[in-house]
Structure 1
Amino acid sequence: MNPITRRALGAIGVAGVATQAFANSPAIRSAWPDATETAAMIRSGQMSALEAAKAAVDRAERLQPKLNFLVASDFDRALERGQIAAMAGAFAGVPFLIKDLDDYKGLPTRSGSRAMLRMPLATQQDALIDAYDRAGVNVIGKSSTPEYGFLPTTEPIGFGPTRNPWDPTRSSGGSSGGAAAATAAGVVPFAHASDGGGSIRIPASCCGLFGLKPSRGRMLAARGQTQVSDISVSHVLTRSVRDSAAMFALTEDSGPGAKLAAVGLITAPLRRRLRVGLILNGGAGKPPTAEVRAATDSSVKLMESLGHEVVPTTWPTGEDFINDFLLLWAAGAADLAGVLNKVMGHPPGPDLLEDFSLGMAEMAAKAPKDALPKTVQRLQASARAYDRWFMVNRFDVILSPVLASPPPQLGYVAPNVSFDTLISRLIEYVGYTTLHNVAGAPSMSVPLNWTSGGLPVGTQFSARAGAEGLLFQLAYQLEAARPWADRTPRLHA
């Protein structure tokens, strides 16, 4: 562990973050360089920032028709930025994508919705996006997302489905599906993502990437997120652990008044034995498919071979948890529908919002008036139960599947599936990722396994709030023990 915060960056220079990550971590054997190596190549003169931008634009233009990961291009500005002789930042000149749920100055924000098609170009952006700019990344566009990030697949009606590079008939996951598809296919070495119920970890699992969801209030622009209902957090999707760790060090909130003690730059693998809780069934009590069970068993054996103690356990929450989370999720859809109602003077219909979004809004509207406050109280109890779970059992981390199945066929959890059928499928498919958002705890998907048919299956590792450093160390250890960077999807740059 090397606890470098942004206040300490002046001692080594901002570029030193990526330099140190590159120098202190194992070589990444891959068909293409990761973000850390790309930055090193640009700094050393092996390639220019303009050459990196041109190559990324070319890759995007070739693969966009096949994968549909991009909803707004910024190619001209990216090429202009690439001509700047001395781009600053740890990742100066490295191509990057911003997820289309967040504003980026000069680009539209569509949020995967037809309701946003006429919105003006963004003129502001939050502190986290500013930090990406300071890190020097060269944004080539905005990545696709399902409507308002509601679904674990990226198949918005208004923009079309994003396809999985490993099998284009399958989902790339969601809601950061465009970011995952572009990163897995090698268009960009990493991309911005966010997670309100699994939306970093799910696409990471579907696309064979590393994806870490930070703790609540951890990152810049998230200091005001203190309530159990503040479930969404942002970070990046990467092919290497070191890329994620380096960007984390640059974008965590480490200033005066930060909610959590800074993690800094983690560059070394774990050196101690962990006590690991093992979860096999999802939150609704249903088991995963045989392929996911086999992948989880394989990950357990790997952990045990590394000296860790793995102990079976059960979820600390009751049967009401999944319904409580659904109502919280539905309340967000109802708020959205309310805003559109005020703007238009009438409730939004299926010409603007997808059937699933409308169904969620209706679910919230039909709930008793006191249902949401009571739901929030139960979710607060679930968050406390999560923390006690670790303390009572002396767990360091929890190991589980990310999803109940490998990436499904496009259409299986799409927004035009009948509402009741879709809810039933979602409860079974994504029953492993939501508790961590409620608990405000860090969790990561690590690409340790592939099916016999060549589909990635991530394994989830979760910790107590604030323990991202432990997860990064474990991820380095797993990456060294079972490397994945040399795996290439069917569709790639």
Structure 2
Amino acid sequence: MRHDEYVEHDAVGLADLVARGEVTATELLEAAIARADAVEPSLNAITVRQDAPARDRASRPLAGPLAGVPFLVKDLYQSQRGVVSNNGSRACANAVAAEDDTVVTRWLDAGLVIFGRTNTPEFGAKGTTEPEAFGATHNPWDLAHTPGGSSGGSAAAVAAGIVPAAGASDGGGSIRIPAACCGLFGLKPGRGVVPTGPGHSEFHHGSAVTGVVTRTVRDSAAMLDVLRGTDPLAPPFVFADPDTGYLDAVSRAPRPLRIGVQRLSALNDTPDPAVLDALSSTSDLLTDLGHVVEEARPAIDEQQLADDFLVPWFVHVASAVDDLRAGGAGTSDFELDTLVIAAIGRTTSAVELEAALGRWHTHVRALSEFHQRYDLLMTPTIARTAPRLGDYATSSLERLAARSVLSARLGRFIDATGTVTAAILRNLSWVPYTQLANLTGRPAASIPLHQAPDGLPIGIQFVAPPGGEGLLFSLAGQLEQASPWRDRRPAL
């Protein structure tokens, strides 16, 4: 199968071709491998290639709703038995997984053919994908720019036409940010919809979830139909299945909705004008489709929300670093930024951590009250188009200061000048809209409705109340029909 034929179909379409006998799983895999070989020298999206076992799998009978479709998983949390889970870090070079994660099992049961793992920042800690261990991933729309993060390798691979869909995860925007940067659709499921077993109960106190990035809405819906559902080895939630599948929701237009629009953020009151223009155009389109759109925002202290997002994250990184050190990893196996975050995490008291986690309910309540008045919250997905690679890298001066403090073992003083806090807030300033859905456990989606004058994609985010995945798919399907993006592809 030629590449131009291969990319004309999404995952659902490719699976249909296989089911009807018009193409084989082996032919699809070879098309995907050929495309990866052609663009990987430019992209650097894939950290681990698994061509040989994939070819063996493709040659055997496959069953499931997506049987025969080539697929890539994210090299973070999506563990495969017998395969190293690098997590974007040198420290995990020997971390061979003992078992498949539940999501990997469900992807395999759906008939997908996994042939690689995609690049991610160290421990998924940044909104760009530039790990020292594997090098930066480039955005297919402009190779000088980032594809976003932390699912940047997956997004770059899908946007470049290697696969129609790829595994992703989202603990602070890591599905939606790269979807916006790469012109893809990305839906973060709500808390408890997709299980995290068998080795974990929840990731990051329930704020991090697994999903995919795709070119079409129906692919994401079909994937969530595959992933959703309770896993008895991954408490504490019992998931209530929707009455119909998410794929059915895509072709079902939503009722007229009341949508509140937030333009600015306390972390960034000057978004890119192209992003605000895209938000206004989306408002006009929604109005034309019969929805009521008005400016409104949840009564949330966004600076406090940022702090409450960061404090548990710092503690989590400190715990991860200490665990890996106990297993033999050395200081040089971690990036400097990771060591700084871990040092701050170790100085956080149990009382401070408990207070931050306790305030998550304050944000839940505020968003719940907003959703009593509005069906959906609409924002830009990110405050600008995809940054250039290196735009948010730690400066030489910041790195020198951090090394001095770490070498003196003065972790409790590491941010005495506020330098680290300023750097972190600088990194959050271009992605100020996404963390709310994570802390509150709400489903949220980035829809690739627009492009900036320079051609870079622009995503628009919608946040729904609990159980709102079907509503998001219905609205996204309606917008996809009204303003199609599927044929917009990078020239790479």
TM-score computed with the length of structure 2 as normaliser: 0.88
Does residue 1:156 correspond to 2:131, yes or no? yes
Q: Is the 8 A contact 1:99 1:179 kept in 2?
A: yes
Q: 2:369 aligns with which of 388, 391, 394?
A: 388
Alpha-carbon separation, structure 2, partners of 1:303 and 1:255: 37
Other-structure match for 1:111: 87
Alpha-carbon separation, structure 1, partners of 2:370 and 2:197: 26
> Please, what is the CA RMSD of the aligned residues?
2.1
* CA displacement 1:92-146 (0-9 Å, x = unmatched): 11000010012112322100001112333x3311211100000000001001110
Other-structure match for 1:475: 476
Alpha-carbon separation, structure 1, partners of 2:285 and 2:197: 35
1:225 Cα deviation from its structure 2 partner: 5.3
Question: Given residue 323 of structure 1, which amino acid in structure 2 is its aligned partner?
Answer: D
Question: Given residue 451 of structure 1, which amino acid in structure 2 is its aligned partner?
Answer: A
Q: 2:387 aligns with which of 385, 389, 408?
A: 408
Residues 1:478 and 1:275: Cα distance change in structure 2 (over 3 Å): same
Other-structure match for 1:14: none
Other-structure match for 2:218: 242
Alpha-carbon separation, structure 1, partners of 2:370 and 2:63: 44
Alpha-carbon separation, structure 2, partners of 1:225 and 1:352: 27
* SS of residue in 1 equivalent to 2:241: coil
Question: Given residue 342 of structure 2, which amino acid in structure 1 is its aligned partner?
Answer: A
Does residue 1:464 correspond to 2:465, yes or no? yes
Residues 1:159 and 1:303: Cα distance change in structure 2 (over 3 Å): same
Q: Is the 8 A contact 1:128 1:220 kept in 2?
A: yes
Other-structure match for 2:403: none
Q: Is the 8 A contact 2:259 2:292 kept in 1?
A: yes
Question: Given residue 118 of structure 2, which amino acid in structure 1 is its aligned partner?
Answer: S
Of 29-38 and 466-475, the range deviating more from structure 2: 29-38
1:301 Cα deviation from its structure 2 partner: 1.1
Other-structure match for 2:432: 431
Of 424-433 and 260-269, the range deviating more from structure 2: 260-269
Other-structure match for 2:260: 277
Q: Is the 8 A contact 2:315 2:348 kept in 1?
A: no
Alignment of 1:90-105 (within 5 A): 90-101=65-76, 102-105=78-81
Other-structure match for 1:137: 112
Does residue 1:323 correspond to 2:307, yes or no? yes
* SS of residue in 2 equivalent to 1:131: helix
Residues 1:118 and 1:225: Cα distance change in structure 2 (over 3 Å): closer
Q: Is the 8 A contact 2:225 2:246 kept in 1?
A: yes
Alpha-carbon separation, structure 1, partners of 2:300 and 2:327: 39
Residues 1:301 and 1:360: Cα distance change in structure 2 (over 3 Å): same
Does residue 1:373 correspond to 2:354, yes or no? yes
Other-structure match for 2:284: 301
* SS of residue in 2 equivalent to 1:170: coil
Of 320-329 and 202-211, the range deviating more from structure 2: 320-329
4+ runs of 1 displaced by more than 4 Å? 222-228, 254-258
Q: Is the 8 A contact 1:184 1:239 kept in 2?
A: yes
Other-structure match for 1:194: 169
Question: Given residue 20 of structure 2, which amino acid in structure 1 is its aligned partner?
Answer: S
5+ residue gaps in structure 2?
Answer: 399-419
* SS of residue in 2 equivalent to 1:187: coil
Alpha-carbon separation, structure 1, partners of 2:361 and 2:30: 49
Other-structure match for 2:41: 65
TM-score computed with the length of structure 1 as normaliser: 0.88
Alpha-carbon separation, structure 2, partners of 1:479 and 1:462: 17
Alpha-carbon separation, structure 1, partners of 2:394 and 2:35: 29
Alpha-carbon separation, structure 2, partners of 1:441 and 1:292: 23
Q: 2:337 aligns with which of 335, 338, 356?
A: 356
Alpha-carbon separation, structure 2, partners of 1:416 and 1:109: 29
Residues 1:309 and 1:371: Cα distance change in structure 2 (over 3 Å): same
1:167 Cα deviation from its structure 2 partner: 0.3
Alpha-carbon separation, structure 1, partners of 2:135 and 2:341: 21
Alignment of 1:145-184 (within 5 A): 145-184=120-159
Question: Given residue 307 of structure 2, which amino acid in structure 1 is its aligned partner?
Answer: N
Q: Is the 8 A contact 1:105 1:124 kept in 2?
A: yes
Task: Count matched residues.
Answer: 456
Question: Given residue 271 of structure 2, which amino acid in structure 1 is its aligned partner?
Answer: P
* CA displacement 1:392-418 (0-9 Å, x = unmatched): xx2101110111110000011236774
Alpha-carbon separation, structure 2, partners of 1:111 and 1:205: 22
5+ residue gaps in structure 1?
Answer: 1-28
1:66 Cα deviation from its structure 2 partner: 0.6
Alpha-carbon separation, structure 2, partners of 1:367 and 1:161: 31
Question: Given residue 229 of structure 1, which amino acid in structure 2 is its aligned partner?
Answer: H
* CA displacement 1:219-239 (0-9 Å, x = unmatched): 133698579822110011110
1:421 Cα deviation from its structure 2 partner: 5.1
1:206 Cα deviation from its structure 2 partner: 0.3
Alpha-carbon separation, structure 1, partners of 2:221 and 2:304: 35
Other-structure match for 1:24: none
Of 471-480 and 105-114, the range deviating more from structure 2: 105-114
Does residue 1:289 correspond to 2:290, yes or no? no
Q: Is the 8 A contact 2:120 2:149 kept in 1?
A: yes
* SS of residue in 2 equivalent to 1:194: strand
Q: Is the 8 A contact 1:157 1:415 kept in 2?
A: no
Other-structure match for 1:13: none
Q: Which has the higher contact order (CA 8 A, sep 6+)?
A: 1
* SS of residue in 1 equivalent to 2:143: strand
Q: Is the 8 A contact 1:169 1:409 kept in 2?
A: yes
* CA displacement 1:154-180 (0-9 Å, x = unmatched): 100110000000000000010000000
Q: Is the 8 A contact 1:153 1:414 kept in 2?
A: no
Residues 1:158 and 1:228: Cα distance change in structure 2 (over 3 Å): closer
Question: Given residue 272 of structure 1, which amino acid in structure 2 is its aligned partner?
Answer: R
Alpha-carbon separation, structure 1, partners of 2:228 and 2:287: 32
Question: Given residue 436 of structure 1, which amino acid in structure 2 is its aligned partner?
Answer: A
Alpha-carbon separation, structure 1, partners of 2:41 and 2:202: 41
Residues 1:183 and 1:191: Cα distance change in structure 2 (over 3 Å): same
Alpha-carbon separation, structure 1, partners of 2:94 and 2:120: 17
Q: Is the 8 A contact 1:75 1:141 kept in 2?
A: yes
Alpha-carbon separation, structure 2, partners of 1:207 and 1:299: 18
Other-structure match for 1:251: 227
Question: Given residue 255 of structure 2, which amino acid in structure 1 is its aligned partner?
Answer: R
Residues 1:342 and 1:255: Cα distance change in structure 2 (over 3 Å): closer
Residues 1:220 and 1:255: Cα distance change in structure 2 (over 3 Å): closer
